[in-house]
Structure 1
C-alpha cells in the first residue's frame, strides 16, 4: 500500500512538506494507546537484542540523525520498531537552516539531496524536550548528534560544541560530534586531525560518563579515515559513526537536469552503499574489536544490515530508505534479520 501512496501522493509533494506531515503522524504514534499498538506490531524479536556502548538495544538497527532534528518524534520512531533513535543535529544556537527548497528526491536512485543546514531549535530547547521524554519513557535508546552553530566562527567551534555537550550529554544515552555535514560552511575542515584533536578532547571532558562518538564523511581519503579512527581510539572515545552524506554525484541514474536543479548538498541513500561499506571495513581494520562502529549510508534491506554487521559494524543506522519504504521499514528489517 505504501508504494502506491508514495507514487501517487507523496512523491508529488514538496519533500520537506511531506516530511513534516510524516512527523505529525509519528508524533501521534508516540502517544498511548497508539504507541502500545504500534510497538506490539513492530517490536523486534528478543533474539535481536544487542549490547553496545554499555547499553541494551532491542535491535542493532536504528534511525540516523537528521530525521528527528528537534526531539519531536523519538517515541514514535521507537514505537515503529527502531532499536535506537539518534536525534539532531542540534546546535548550541537556534537556527532556521538554509533557505527552502533544501530537500530533493532523486527517485531513480532511491536517494535524497539535502542542504538543510542544521535547522533546529537549539540545545536548550532540545534539552527541555529530552527531560520530558526521559521522565515519561526510559526504554528508548536515544543518541544526540551535535554540530557547530552557523553564526559561530570555525576558530570558536570548540566552545560552541562544549556548550551543547554540557547541556545535552547528561540527557543522552550517547553523544555524537558531527564534523562531517557538507551544509555548514567550514564544518568539514574540522575533520583535520590537528583541529579535531582539541575539539574532541574538550567535548569528551564536557560529556562526562556519556559515551562519545564522532561522525565522519565518506569523501575523506582512506589515510585520513585511518588517522581519525586512530585519534578516536587514542582519546578514549566510545566509537565512530561512518558515514555522513556525500558531496559526490558519480554514477547516478537520475536525469542530469534534475540533479543540477537539486544543486549543492549532501547525497544520501542507495548510491552511498558501496562507499559506506568500504569505510566501515577500513575503520574496523584500524580500531580495536571492542570499539563501537556504527555504519550508516545506503542501508535499505535486512541483507544490507547483515552485510554491515558481518563487516564489523556494532550497530547499523538508516534514514533515506525510510522515505521510500514507509512506516513499516524497521519492522521489515527486523523480521528479515530474525529470519536469518
Structure 2
C-alpha cells in the first residue's frame, strides 16, 4: 500500500489491539469487494517455489493466527502472498481466553497474545474456504489444526484427527499446531512419548484419508522456539520417522528476556515480532543441521523487512511466513520480502 499504512498506523494503535485487528481485516474485505486493492497494493511477485509437491507462486506466506476462521481469505490473498495458512481451527467452536488477550509492545515492535484458539469450529471454516475465490481458483491454502481446550491432553490425538478429517479435502497442506503457549498443557505434546503417539496416530489417519480421497496431503508440524538442542534433535528425528513433510519454525515464545521492563511485558501469552527473530533463526539453524535436505523448513518469527526474510532462508528455511511484521510494517511488507527473496532469472 505504498506508504499509506504509515499514516493509518498511529490511529490504529490508539485502538485496543484486537479491535484494531478486526477493523483492519473488515476494511480490507470492503476494499477487496470494491476492487480497490488492485490499485492500492503493489503487484504480486511471481517467483515459483516447489515444496512437498506444491507449487508456491512465491515464497512469502501468511502465518496462521491472523485469519483464524477463514473469513478474510480473498482480501488477504490480494496482498501478494504466495500462500495463506488459515487457523488454528479446532473440532468444536470455542471462545478462546477472556479479553483483553492481545497487547502491543510498540517499543520492541512486538505483540503478546493469549487468544487461546478462539474460532467458530472447523466445519464453519471449511465452508468459508469452499466459498472463497482464492480456493476455487487453486490458491495454495494451508489449514492449521489444534485441539479444543476442553479436551484432556491425553486425548489430544482424537481432536487432531477429527480436524484433519474435516480439512483434508480442501487443504493444500495441513499444519499440526502443538506449540501454542495459550492452550493449557499443549506444549507437552512436544515431549517424546506424547509426540510419538500423536505422529503415529496422524500417520495412520493420513494413510486412510489418502486412500479415501486418492491424494496424499502434506503434513507440517509447527514447533515452539523454547526448545533445547536435545528436544530439537528429537523432534527432527520423529518428523523423519513418521513421514511428516515439513516443519514450521517457530511459534511464539514464552520468554520475556528481550522485553523486560516494558509495558505489558509481564502479560501472559506468546511473544511475537522483532524480539522473536534471533530465537527463531537459532531453531531453524539447529533443525537444518539435523535434517539437512531431508525435510524442508518454513521460517516464521520476527520478519519486519526483506533482510529479515533473507536471514530465514540463509538459516535453512525454504519458505517464510509473516504475521506480526504486518502489524508494524503494513501490507507492503509482503512485496518487500518477496522481492528480497526473488531468485535471479
TM-score (norm 2): 0.91
Q: Which residue of 2 aligns with 1:127?
A: 126
- The one-character-per-residue Cα deviations of 1:223-246 (angstroms, maximum 9, x if unpaired) are 101100110011111011110000
Partners of 2:97 and 2:114 within 8 A in 1:
yes
Deviations 1:238-297 (Å, cap 9, x if unpaired)?
0111100000000226x444323xx10000000011110010011011114141211111
Q: For residues 335 and 287 of structure 1, what CA distance do their matches in structure 2 show?
A: 27
CA drift at 1:33: 3.5
Q: Residue 339 of structure 2: which of 329, 335, 338 is its match?
A: 335
Q: Does 1:283 align with 2:287?
A: yes
Q: 1:156 maps to what in 2?
A: 155
Matches of 1:136 and 1:171, distance apart in 2:
8
Structure 1 gap segments, 5+ residues each: none
Question: Matches of 1:135 and 1:289 in 2, distance apart?
Answer: 31
Question: What is the root-mean-square deviation in Å for CA atoms of aligned residues?
Answer: 1.9
1:88 aligns to what?
Answer: 87
Q: 1:294 is matched with which residue: 270, 295, 298?
A: 298
Deviation of 1:51 after TM superposition, in Å, equals 1.0
Q: 2:78 & 2:123 partners in 1: Cα distance?
A: 26
Aligned length: 333
Structure 2 residues without counterparts, runs of 5 or longer: 211-215
Query: Do 1:38 and 1:79's aligned partners in 2 also have CA atoms closer than 8 Å?
Result: no
Partner of 2:16: 14
Question: Which residue number in structure 2 is paired with residue 195 of structure 1?
Answer: 194
Larger displacement relative to structure 2 (220-229 or 113-122): 220-229
Q: Please name the residue that 2:213 is paired with.
A: none
Deviations 1:201-225 (A, max 9, x none): 2223333311001111100111101
* 2: CA distance, partners of 1:135 / 1:259: 38
**What residue number does 1:75 align with?**
74
1:142 corresponds to: 141
SS in 1 for 2:148: coil
Q: Does 1:116 align with 2:122?
A: no
Deviations 1:42-96 (A, max 9, x none): 311x3x2211121111211111000010011122111101111111000111000
Q: Is the 8 A contact 1:158 1:199 kept in 2?
A: yes
Measure, in 2, the Cα distance between the counterparts of 1:104 and 1:224: 30
Q: 1:308 aligns with which of 275, 296, 312?
A: 312
Q: Alpha-carbon deviation of 1:139?
A: 3.5
In 2, distance between residues paired with 1:312 and 1:36? 33
C-alpha displacement at 1:30, in angstroms? 4.3
Q: Is the 8 A contact 2:44 2:80 kept in 1?
A: yes
In 1: Cα distance, 2:83 partner to 2:166 partner: 21
Q: Which residue pairs with 2:29 in the alignment?
A: 27
> Partner of 2:221 in structure 1?
214
| TM-score, normalised via structure 1 length | 0.93
Q: Helix, strand or coil: the match of 2:259?
A: coil
Measure how far apart 1:136 and its partner are: 6.1
The answer to whether 1:264 aligns with 2:268 is: yes
1:135–1:181 Cα change, 3 Å: closer
Judge which range, 325-334 or 132-141, deviates more. 132-141
Q: Provide, for residues 115-134 of structure 1, a one-character-per-residue CA deviation record: whole Å limited to 9, x for no partner.
A: 00000011111111122226
Q: What is the CA distance between 1:151 and its match in structure 2?
A: 1.1
Conserved? CA contact 1:29–1:79, under 8 Å: no
Matched residues in 2 for 1:201 and 1:85: separation? 27
After TM superposition, give the deviation of residue 336 of structure 1 in Å. Answer: 3.4
Deviates more, 1:51-60 or 1:13-22: 51-60
Alpha-carbon distance in structure 2 between the residues aligned to 1:75 and 1:63: 12
